[in-house]
Amino acid sequence: MTQTIDFQTDPSKYRHWKIDYDGPIARLSMDVDEKGGLFEGYELKLNSYDLGVDIELADVVQRMRFEHPEVKVIILQSAKDKVFCAGANIRMLGGAAHSHKVNFCKFTNETRNTYEAALADSGQNYICAVKGACAGGGYELALACNHIMLTDDSTSSVSLPEVPLLAVLPGTGGLTRVTDKRKVRRDLADVFCSIEEGVKGKRAVKWRLVDEVFPNSTFDAKVEERAQALAASSTKADIAQGITLTPITRNFSDDAVSYSTVEVALNRAAGRPTVTVKGPSDAAPADMDAFTAQGADAWMLRCARELDDAILHLRNNEKELGLIEFQTQGDPDLVIAHEALMLSNADHWLANEVTQYWKRVLKRIDMTSRSLVAIVEHGSCFAGPLAELLWAVDRSYMMLEDFDGDNRALATVTMSEGNFGSYPMGNHLTRLQTRFLGTPEQIEKLKSSIGEPLEAEDADELGLITYAFDDIDWEDEVRLFMEERASFSPDAMTGMEANLRFAGPETMETRIFGRLTAWQNWIFQRPNAVGEEGALQRYGTGVRGKYNMERV
């Protein structure tokens, strides 16, 4: 699986999902094209899915926010007869490289989290209507919805059969959502996750695996009734029209990916991409009417979309480039002004959606298993949402005072109100709160510097950067760090960084990703699962996996 994976799509290209919009209610139907796998060598039977199916789902969920803000309730259902979804395609997983399996699970988790949070973030409520077998990743699609309805017949059930069948774990947060979200009793969860056939009907309700069960004869009517009731009780404002998410413009070359606001330079010899985010060149729109008129061309939205795509490209297509260097270029005052329009109009649907999207993009950076460094050079614009990069990375280096022959504006860091609550991490804290977990009083001190362009000495004193160097030491210090980082084991780096980035309280989100990183990553390399005689390789042959029974 070495082909380039493109995360950009649009409804005209969908092969696996169908959408019907009816005022405040949308019906999202899973209708996977068996011949539409992202790679060769497997068929997507029984509504099973691969990364290509999930790329489309992520696009659907995103467009629902921006292009169809009138939608208040989404019914997630299957268009297939007698099957809801068989989960992640086993042939795909069995033939995939380890890195692809892990990246696939991570992206599907991010997608599930996005529509799971849609009610709180955007007032869009997801109902799952389950008819037929709902197994593994299929049940995980349902678990991320806010309400699950199951039909009561001989073919409909919910199950997480990965452990008994495949010797792996439900890779999209299934175990965590069963215990933390559905609050299934531990012993019942143990039974549920140990049986292949799943749980049906009223028992599924009793065990808290679904919310409601109805006979086939009334099921469709009951789903419609529930959707109408939720739409009627919604507090989401009535919005007549959204904006169009026009295609992102990108140019690929052997050593770069270029967007309008993001430039990715690929230094393969050093194992390092440099991601440069360009600040806005024009003044902020005068008001939200002007911003809405700009639509997807508005800098705040365009930059978020392009940065998001760049991160996904690096994750999945440039896996040997292990140290991502973030830089920015532009006027920090303009960045602050563009963000301020969003923050001062937080009750406007589009301003809210843009801010929520920045939150998701920054979380994606948090979850990226690469070493991350920010280089704050003169002429940079680490301000507002771009300042978040400084606290998402593992280290930051900032130019101190004038550099000989450099006539760019002195490097500064500018905090905004947004840095104190608009872009929380998965632990539900801001990056600044996470950074100063041991000295929470520092947060109040920092607030007194909101809007002030802080030069290197002040930024260092306040703890906003790791190091500040003058032009005598700058080049050597940065070079030594880059060379040292490139010499370390990437496995050890991934483990270290994942542990250090998420201080503070655990949430369902951090548990999902933490367990995925630690356990599923490990299990995906164990011969009991992926060896020649492992369960994942033998699935479908009629021969059970051969296990080494040693506990480690």
If asked whether residues 330 and 430 sit together in one domain, one would say yes
- Residue-wise pLDDT for 438-451, tens only, equals 999 999 999 999 99
If asked whether residues 407 and 297 sit together in one domain, one would say yes
Point out the domain boundary residue: 480, 495, 510: 495
With a CB cutoff of 8 Å and minimum separation 6, the contacts of 8 are: 247, 248, 250, 309
d(CA 483, CA 479): 6
The helix/strand count (H/E) of the chain reads as 24, 19
If asked whether residues 198 and 264 sit together in one domain, one would say no
If asked whether residues 258 and 177 sit together in one domain, one would say no
Domains identified in the chain, total number: 2
Q: In what order do the strands lie in the sheet with 73-78?
A: 17-22, 25-30, 73-78, 125-130, 147-152, 212-215
* pLDDT lower than 50: segments of the chain: 1
- Residue-wise pLDDT for 211-236, tens only, equals 999 999 999 999 999 999 999 999 99
If asked whether residues 16 and 76 sit together in one domain, one would say yes
If asked whether residues 366 and 325 sit together in one domain, one would say yes
What is the pLDDT at residue 2?
66
Report if residue 386 sits inside a domain.
yes
Distances (CA, A) of 433 to 78, 205, 428, 441: 42, 40, 10, 10
CATH, residue 282:
3.90.226.10
Report if residue 430 sits inside a domain.
yes
What is the pLDDT at residue 515?
83
135, 141, 146, 150 alpha-carbon torsion, rounded to 10°: -30
3-state helix, strand, coil in the chain (%, to 5): 45, 15, 40
Dihedral of alpha carbons 397, 400, 402, 405, sign: negative
Give the chain's length: 552
If asked whether residues 210 and 256 sit together in one domain, one would say no
Point out the domain boundary residue: 448, 472, 495: 495
The answer to whether the beta carbons of residues 422 and 435 sit under 8 Å apart is no
Report if residue 521 sits inside a domain.
no
What is the pLDDT at residue 1?
44
If asked whether residues 217 and 159 sit together in one domain, one would say yes
Bridge-partner residues for 307, per DSSP? none
Q: Which two tokens stand for residue 473?
A: 């030491």
If asked whether residues 28 and 82 sit together in one domain, one would say yes
Report if residue 390 sits inside a domain.
yes
Distances (CA, A) of 448 to 382, 411, 454: 18, 20, 12
3-state secondary structure 356-387: HHHHHHHHHHHCCCCEEEEEECCCCCEEHHHC
Report if residue 373 sits inside a domain.
yes
If asked whether residues 176 and 320 sit together in one domain, one would say no
Report if residue 153 sits inside a domain.
yes
Report if residue 217 sits inside a domain.
yes
If asked whether residues 192 and 257 sit together in one domain, one would say no
The answer to whether the beta carbons of residues 548 and 528 sit under 8 Å apart is yes
Report if residue 515 sits inside a domain.
no
User: Domain limits at 104?
Assistant: 11-232
What is the pLDDT at residue 516?
79
d(CA 112, CA 88): 14
What is the pLDDT at residue 245?
98
If asked whether residues 358 and 272 sit together in one domain, one would say yes
Cβ burial 107-127 (10 Å sphere, 16+ → b, else e): bbbbbbbbbbbbbebbbbbbb
